[in-house]
Amino acid sequence: MKDAPLSNCERQFLLQAIEQKKRQDGRQTYDYRSIKITFGTEYGCCTVELGKTRVLSQVSCELASPKDSRPTEGLLFTNLELSQMASPAFEPSRQSELLVKLNRQLERCLRNSKCIDMESLCIISGEKVWQIRVDVHVLNYDGNLMDASSIAAITALSHFRRPDVSIQGQDITVHPAAERDPIPLSIYHMPISVSFAFFQQGTYLLVDPCEREERVMDGLLFIAMNKHREICSIQSSGGIMLLKEQVLRCSKIASVKVSEITELIHKALDNDKKVRKEGGKCGFAESMSKERITSLQTVESPVEMTDVQETAREIIHNAETPSETTLSPVLHAVGLGQVGEGVSSGWGVEEDEEDEGMEDQPERAEGSRKGDVVVISDSEEEEVVVLQ
């Protein structure tokens, strides 16, 4: 299914609005849409809502052998999926340009920035290390997937806890959460991507473009930065020429945005920690708004089971009893039997059917047949016996 195209008048309207420093949703040029972070019941699972854009991120881990070149370092994999749920234009199992771009950028943002202490993931040097996997699923697409994904990924990583292990000689024991408290990853810094959309060959600039703005933009600049104002990755796409001053200005804006977002992530993490510590309920179900007219919840409800046995017995009792008489099978030859007379195969007459069974018969017969045991009615079979 294709996405609905943008008409010329819509395009013109959007561009005119941008020229007049106005945005459709009433934001200012440098404003982000509202960000909402919620955590799942498991460790390492969170959703991020950036306006209407929504992504789900899950971190998981497993034991693996390290790379030969880096025997003391763990492994980190990121995988971003453009689910068809997000937009009908996303086709499953197809590597679109957008998907490749986002995956590359996310990998640079997380892996190449060395934000996680990889050496702490080593269990036995050169033999066993933890492999951390970050799955990011896009659930709803309304522009600026990169920023939403990078926030979701780093939040999930900070939230994640891996099981504790103990080593005795070469044996590794993985302790389940009930036995020993799981351990959080050690995170050095949190790289967060900030996207800038450029219009009219770089004359105008917007932060956090929504889907419609992305459709009319000329170019995009990603800056991944941490709160210490260190740039982790910078990438411009779309083929626009940017002046040095523009890039510097963008990086200044990014530093402000990043510190705001980092603070928000920390607040969300602390909040979740507090709820978990108090033994309160956590998870997406809890964060579901109860006031919305489209949502409804029930409490745990009992199901009466008193007359269930009765109903079951009645049905079984009333059913026809299986007929005692069953067809007995007919043996056509050694290792070939038939039951039922219904429709036999349209492959041909009876003889043919046996032929087909016979094909391999002679070979085996040579080795094992004593020659006189079986009563044979088939002429070919007889030939075999004669041969012996």
HSE at residue 185, side-chain half, CA atoms within 13 A, is 32
387 binds other proteins (CB under 8 A): no
CB of 299 to other proteins, least distance (A): 6
303 binds other proteins (CB under 8 A): yes
131 binds other proteins (CB under 8 A): no
Per DSSP, the three-state class of 323 is: coil
374 binds other proteins (CB under 8 A): yes
CB of 325 to other proteins, least distance (A): 9
26 binds other proteins (CB under 8 A): no
Is the dihedral angle over the CA atoms 81, 84, 235, 210 positive or is it negative?
Answer: negative
323 binds other proteins (CB under 8 A): yes
336 binds other proteins (CB under 8 A): yes
Site for other proteins in 340-359 (CB under 8 A): 340-347, 353, 356-357, 359
Between the alpha carbon of residue 106 and those of residues 101, 164, 267, 276, 298, the distances in Å are: 9, 28, 23, 29, 39
Structure tokens at 128: 């066993």
Indicate which single residue of 168, 170, 298, 379 sits in contact with other proteins (rule: CB under 8 A): 298
120 binds other proteins (CB under 8 A): no
Indicate which single residue of 6, 100, 177, 308 sits in contact with other proteins (rule: CB under 8 A): 308
68 binds other proteins (CB under 8 A): no
Tell me how far apart the alpha carbons of residues 140 and 82 are, in angstroms, rounded to a whole number.
9
- The residue among 278, 276, 125, 258 whose CA lies nearest residue 195 is 258
For residues 280 and 340, which CB has a smaller minimum distance to other proteins in the complex?
340
169 binds other proteins (CB under 8 A): no
Q: Binding segment for other proteins among 64-72, 115-123, 139-147, 185-193 (CB under 8 A)?
A: 139-147
For residues 2 and 94, which CB has a smaller minimum distance to other proteins in the complex?
2
Per DSSP, the three-state class of 113 is: coil
Contacts of 308 (CB under 8 A, 6+ apart): none
Q: Cβ(146)–Cβ(185) under 8 Å?
A: no
Q: Cβ(31)–Cβ(113) under 8 Å?
A: no
Site for other proteins in 36-65 (CB under 8 A): 40-42, 45, 52, 54, 56, 58, 60
Indicate which single residue of 7, 168, 326, 379 sits in contact with other proteins (rule: CB under 8 A): 326
295 binds other proteins (CB under 8 A): yes
- The residue among 36, 222, 52 whose CA lies nearest residue 143 is 52
For residues 250 and 365, which CB has a smaller minimum distance to other proteins in the complex?
365
For residues 256 and 308, which CB has a smaller minimum distance to other proteins in the complex?
308
Structure tokens at 249: 């200005």
Tell me how far apart the alpha carbons of residues 382 and 375 are, in angstroms, rounded to a whole number.
10
168 binds other proteins (CB under 8 A): no
For residues 270 to 289, the per-residue mask of contacts with other proteins, x marking binding by CB under 8 A and - elsewhere, is -------------xxx--xx
Residue 156 — φ and ψ, nearest 5°?
A: -65, -40
DSSP letter (8 states) at residue 187: B
For residues 256 and 330, which CB has a smaller minimum distance to other proteins in the complex?
330
373 binds other proteins (CB under 8 A): yes
Total site size for other proteins, rule CB under 8 A: 92
296 binds other proteins (CB under 8 A): yes
Tell me how far apart the alpha carbons of residues 221 and 213 are, in angstroms, rounded to a whole number.
14
Instruction: Name the helix (H) or strand (E) containing 373.
Output: none
